[in-house]
Structure 1
Amino acid sequence: MRRIPHRRLLAATLLAASVLTSTAVAPVAPVHAANVDRPGEGDCRPGGLGQGLTAKLDRTIEDVREQAGIPGVVVGLWMPGKGCYVRATGVADTVTRQPMPVDTYVRIGSETKTFTVTALLQLVDDGKVRLDDPIDDYVRGVPNGDEITLRHLAEMRSGLFPYTSDPDFIRDLQTDPKRPYNPWELLSYGYRHPNTSAPGTTFQYSNSNLILLGLVIEKVTGKRLADVIHQRVLRPAHLRHTLFPKGAEFPEPHARGYTDQSLSGAVTDATDWNPSWAWAAGAMISNLHDLRRWAKVVATGELLSPETQAQRLKTLPTGFPGTTYGLGILETNGWIGHNGSIPGYETVTVYLPSKKATLVVMINTDMLHQGQEPSTLLARAVTEVVTPDNVYAGAVVPH
């Protein structure tokens, strides 16, 4: 999930950016290997990819972390037939200097979209909705809603103005980041602006699309979106450490999250900001164990029919080199999945079908480094080392 367009108006999702200064982050903490007894990490022992490759990954990750000013990092890489690599480095708290734990929970931002769209596609499989239904069939009052389809919303081609780009929304969120929002309030910020393009013509990353899909799911099922995702997605996928919070609650252990999106522009602890403003587009929480599992579920369509999964994976150009976008999912040089960014946290969860490889990156800042998301820098650096023919290109939002 990308940033709230603010000092630099970003036309996508969340939080604009400045570079994290050297005074904002406490000194570097040493790299420590994953605890092999942590639940869900299996037999991924130190040196699981071989001593040379493991050492090269250690150096690569630490170099990026130091250069980008990232407080804490967790990286998990699983490559069947070759081995695995799980590391935490840096700190979870820049004040106490607590080391970053491998089993930390983080806010996953726009990776929430993969859960919301999976729930929608399950309703497609059930025959309760059709992807080419207009949104007007389910939610009234959407600008050009008789022509915008559920498919357009899921593939980011609706033309609806992103509510996170509205100046009043930015001001309201930064003034009181702990206040709750409801979906209708969020949409109202976007509805003040004309649509940016005709439906189906242009890729534009917009959280407004996912808020509407969340409302569709609630209308069709008669249940809260969080309950639908828990019952129909999390439970059958065996994700016991993933949740859709009601407010700012956060399971332990969790890293503190740091952002520069306060009113003053100073580096701020955003751990307890209320993520309801992102709702179906970006409010969820998870950990390394569950994101590892989820990467394969999403990319291989374990919860969907083969026909619906095939539609999901029909990706279209985004305008970003090396990256295309399908139904709530991105493809970047062979890797399939999504990235996430929300104040204080960023994640990348992707799966490479050609090698059956999984990569998960979790960090506790969303502050850009030289105009780039730090999670993208990490994912790119790791894949340059381990899959040079399939290098992670990056996110699908403008910086």
Structure 2
Amino acid sequence: MAGAVLAVLTLGVTAVPSGATTTPADTPQEQTASAIADSVRSAMADGHLRAVIIEVTQGGEVVTRQAFGTSMDGVPATTDMHFRNGAVAFTYLSTLLMQFVDEHEVTLDDTIDRWMPDLPEADEVTLRMLANQTSGYPDYETDPAWEAAWAADPFHIWTFEERLAYAFTRPVAFPPGTNWSYAHTNFMILGEILAEIGGKPLDQLLREEVLGPMGLTETLASVTSGVPDPVLHTFSSERRGALGIAPTTAFYEESTFWNTQWGTPIGANQTTTVSDMATTAVQVGTGALLSDSSYHAMTDPNLLGFGYTDPSCSPSCFTQVQGYNYGLGVVRSGSWILQNPLLAGISGTAAYLPSQEIAIAVAVTYLPGAFDAEGNYANAADRLFRSIGAVVAPDDAPPMPPG
């Protein structure tokens, strides 16, 4: 997931990517769908992608829903396949938080010592700071000891207590509210607090208050490694370095059933489909379940210009720019509201452009050539979303990184 952040650090100005086909607003839907398919095929060839599943809607109407490539060798990808949604779950947590704000159960400025008084700086860290990544809490996911433990057993189910212990082997990176730094620790803690506020397990709260009302019938939580059928299989080389495998030795393993509970709060480890991702983009992007004030608190670019790079939290801390700035559990990129997870050999993006009512959902899996000599790989779904955005909204395309 941290890679999803790093992939967009350089985003700044809006630009149509080289080679992208732009389409006037009055182009027939079939031609738009064809141009989108061309962008997908180009990305697959250039990025060594195994499978791509997309759905694009505008004004509630499906522009295109299509699958490309294979789930496994000889098994075509299909649009009804299930896959991990990673940080997309953060949008659901933030929606639930803002619902509690609308119901006057809490305020964003409540400090978390009300629920977790033993955490560092608990009397200064607020609910807002957890949701917008400004608490200063270190990310357990970047701790070398945790990375080694995960690489040794990617099927392990990480408990809240285990992750908390890894997170706070290091000191708080900066005084609460003084900088921005992406940390899974924030949402892990927020999930526990939301369950306490709501008086129910988080998965039940999310299902009753968010997923159900949003109409997300295929988005399901589980603490296990299970994925409902039909399954979009994923493959990865990211454990290469940790396992000491030489760059000259071929290494590519199935990662479909790695347990991804490590990256989300207990109760928010989810699988989904591309259609539920597109629906999520619309529901979150319009604030369908929230008051107007809570919607703007969650999605406005309130952190533009905030934050700075510092050795205590690098590379996860940096100044928020037009191309990438964080709301409450959502990313703002230009005029687009999105989430863009990267984990376990899959990347995804759910994005919405309010002014034109356009939703884009993308899921991507990878071929061996997508991984470098150390097993690193790019957030291809995020970049593909930006190419598709340039097709469907050429006058308000998502910002692209240089080159």
TM-score range, shorter chain: 0.7 to 0.9
Counterpart mapping for 1:105-116 below 5 A:
105-116=82-93
Q: Are the counterparts in 2 of residues 3 and 343 from structure 1 also a CA contact under 8 Å? A: no
Residues 147, 155 of structure 1: CA spacing in aligned structure 2 closer, same or farther, 3 A cutoff? same
Between the two proteins, the alignment pairs up a number of residues equal to 354
2:260 to 266, 275, 279: 275
Q: CA deviation at 1:78?
A: 1.4
Q: CA deviation at 1:391?
A: 2.5
Q: CA deviation at 1:3?
A: 4.4
Q: Are the counterparts in 2 of residues 4 and 164 from structure 1 also a CA contact under 8 Å? A: no
Distance in 2 (CA, whole Å) between partners of 1:131 and 1:394 is 32
Residues 133, 11 of structure 1: CA spacing in aligned structure 2 closer, same or farther, 3 A cutoff? farther
Three-state SS of the structure 1 residue aligned to 2:161 is helix
| 1:391 matched residue in structure 2 | 397
| 2:122 matched residue in structure 1 | 145
TM-score between both structures, scaled by the size of structure 2? 0.82
| 1:123 matched residue in structure 2 | 100
Say which is worse superposed, 303-312 or 368-377, in terms of deviation. Answer: 368-377
Distance in 2 (CA, whole Å) between partners of 1:279 and 1:337 is 17
Q: Are the counterparts in 2 of residues 256 and 344 from structure 1 also a CA contact under 8 Å? A: no
2:270 to 284, 291, 296: 284
Three-state SS of the structure 2 residue aligned to 1:121 is helix
Q: Are the counterparts in 2 of residues 344 and 364 from structure 1 also a CA contact under 8 Å? A: yes
Residues 228, 98 of structure 1: CA spacing in aligned structure 2 closer, same or farther, 3 A cutoff? same
Q: CA deviation at 1:152?
A: 0.7
Three-state SS of the structure 2 residue aligned to 1:104 is coil
Q: Are the counterparts in 2 of residues 73 and 89 from structure 1 also a CA contact under 8 Å? A: yes
Letter of the 1:2 partner, please give it: A
| 1:198 matched residue in structure 2 | 175
| 1:323 matched residue in structure 2 | 324
| 1:210 matched residue in structure 2 | 187
Instruction: Give deviations 1:269-308, integer Å, cap 9, x for gaps.
Output: 1111111212329721111221121111111111122221
Instruction: Give deviations 1:332-389, integer Å, cap 9, x for gaps.
Output: 1211121112212211001111101110011124966896411122112111222223
Residues 105, 83 of structure 1: CA spacing in aligned structure 2 closer, same or farther, 3 A cutoff? closer
Letter of the 1:305 partner, please give it: S
Three-state SS of the structure 1 residue aligned to 2:206 is helix
Three-state SS of the structure 1 residue aligned to 2:347 is strand
Matched, 1:377 2:383: yes
Q: What residue ranges of structure 1 are gaps of 5+ in the alignment? A: 13-47
Distance in 1 (CA, whole Å) between partners of 2:59 and 2:209 is 28
Three-state SS of the structure 2 residue aligned to 1:234 is helix
Query: How many percent identity over aligned positions?
Result: 27
Q: Are the counterparts in 2 of residues 361 and 375 from structure 1 also a CA contact under 8 Å? A: yes
Three-state SS of the structure 2 residue aligned to 1:56 is helix
Distance in 1 (CA, whole Å) between partners of 2:180 and 2:191 is 20
Q: Are the counterparts in 2 of residues 256 and 269 from structure 1 also a CA contact under 8 Å? A: yes
Three-state SS of the structure 2 residue aligned to 1:131 is coil
Say which is worse superposed, 65-74 or 308-317, in terms of deviation. Answer: 308-317
| 1:34 matched residue in structure 2 | none
Residues 11, 334 of structure 1: CA spacing in aligned structure 2 closer, same or farther, 3 A cutoff? closer
Q: CA deviation at 1:11?
A: 12
Q: Are the counterparts in 1 of residues 347 and 382 from structure 2 also a CA contact under 8 Å? A: no
| 1:333 matched residue in structure 2 | 334
Distance in 1 (CA, whole Å) between partners of 2:345 and 2:218 is 19
Q: Are the counterparts in 1 of residues 113 and 122 from structure 2 also a CA contact under 8 Å? A: yes
Matched, 1:226 2:168: no
Residues 4, 297 of structure 1: CA spacing in aligned structure 2 closer, same or farther, 3 A cutoff? closer
| 1:248 matched residue in structure 2 | 225
Distance in 1 (CA, whole Å) between partners of 2:202 and 2:324 is 29
Three-state SS of the structure 2 residue aligned to 1:86 is strand
Three-state SS of the structure 2 residue aligned to 1:71 is strand
Q: What residue ranges of structure 2 are gaps of 5+ in the alignment? A: 9-26, 246-250, 305-318
Three-state SS of the structure 1 residue aligned to 2:297 is helix
Q: Are the counterparts in 1 of residues 324 and 333 from structure 2 also a CA contact under 8 Å? A: yes
By relative contact order (CA 8 Å, sep 6+), the higher-ranking structure is: 2
Distance in 1 (CA, whole Å) between partners of 2:386 and 2:48 is 16
Distance in 2 (CA, whole Å) between partners of 1:11 and 1:142 is 31
